Amino acid sequence: MITLTDRAATELQDLINSQEKKNAALRVWVAGGGCSGLSYGMALDDSEPEEGDNVFEQNGVKVYVDALSLNYMSGSQVDYVDDVLGGGFKIENPNATSSCGCGSSFKTSDSEGAAAGGGGCGSCGCR
C-alpha cells in the first residue's frame, strides 16, 4: 500500500483542481537509475489505471502504482515538504536501505547488485 499524508493529499487536490483534471490520480513508479540505483517518478495521470495497476485512494485522491514498483515501495508514504528551495513531494520508503542526498534515488536489499547502473553520487544532480 502507498499512503498520502494529509498535507500531500491537500496539495495534490489543489494541483488537480488548478489543472482542471477532475479525475486525475497520482501515478508513482520506480525506475532504474539515479546515484543509488533506483529512482522515483511521480506524475498526474488523468487516464484510467492500466492493467495490473494497484489503486489506492485517500482523502479523495487516487494513487496508481504498477506491481513491479510496488515491490520496491510497499508501505511508502508520499508527503509534501517545504524547504529553502520551495515545496515538493517526497517519498518516505521503509524498504530503502540507503538513499542519496537528493531523496529521489534509493536502494533496497532486493535491488543490491540488481539495479541498472547507478552512476554514483552526483549522477542524479543532487550535488
Average pLDDT of the residues of the chain: 81
- Which domains, and CATH codes, for the chain? 3-108 (2.60.300.12)
- Cell numbers placing 105: 534515488
pLDDT of residue 100: 58
Task: Assess whether pLDDT exceeds 90 at residue 96.
Answer: no
Which of the four pLDDT bands, split at 50, 70 and 90, describes residue 40?
Answer: confident
Q: What is the pLDDT of residues 10-23, one digit of tens each?
A: 999 999 999 999 89
**How high is the pLDDT of residue 101?**
53
CB burial of 26-56 (b: ≥16 within 10 Å; e: otherwise) equals bbbbbeebbbbbbbbebeebeeeeeeebbeb
More confident call, 56 vs 36: 56
Three-state secondary-structure class, residue 12: helix
| pLDDT exceeds 70 at position 50 | yes
pLDDT the model gives residue 99: 61
pLDDT value at 2 more than 50: yes
| Mean pLDDT computed over 81-108 | 72
**pLDDT at residue 36 is higher than 90:** no
Angle at the Cα of 114 from the Cα atoms of 110 and 118, rounded to 5 degrees: 110
Segment 48-57 shows an average pLDDT of 96
